[in-house]
Amino acid sequence: WFYQYVEKAYNFKIISGISEAEFIPDGAITRQDAAVILKRIFDSKGIEFTKLNIKFKDSDQISDYAKDAVDALSSGGIIKGFDDNTFKGNNKITRAEAAQLIYNAIK
């Protein structure tokens, strides 16, 4: 049921699988992966953010491929860190966090 949606998002370069041949649709994604996906959507719409080089205590643990997205979205107030000034980019994103992320993106 999801193939056409995955294919379209893949063709628009919004998402990718774990390889060129495997997507794992039932797999969870991390907070940093969610940031990358959302940033790609904003990019596809021509929406840019002024990057403020926000640093989290655990910025060194954010994967290189996600650093730009996390910085842009956190600078734009779309994604936030935790009260202890960490981002926890490798944590799986919860439904509540995903809902907050979507809400922040559309407001």
pLDDT in tens, 40-57: 999 999 999 988 888 999
- In this prediction, residue 95 carries a pLDDT of 93
- In this prediction, residue 92 carries a pLDDT of 97
Listed range (14-28, 31-45, 63-77, 90-104) with the worst mean pLDDT: 14-28
Q: Is residue 81 helix, strand or coil?
A: coil
- In this prediction, residue 70 carries a pLDDT of 96
pLDDT at 25 over 90: no
- In this prediction, residue 107 carries a pLDDT of 85
Long-range contacts of 3-12 (CB under 8 A, 24+ apart): 12/44
- In this prediction, residue 20 carries a pLDDT of 80
CA distances from 67 to 48, 53, 59, 71, 105 (A): 15, 10, 8, 6, 18
Phi-psi region of 73 (alpha: psi -120 to 50; beta: other; left: phi over 0): alpha
CA distances from 32 to 2, 4, 21 (A): 23, 24, 22
- Count the Cβ atoms, other than its own, within 10 Å of residue 65: 10
pLDDT, average across residues 62-81: 95
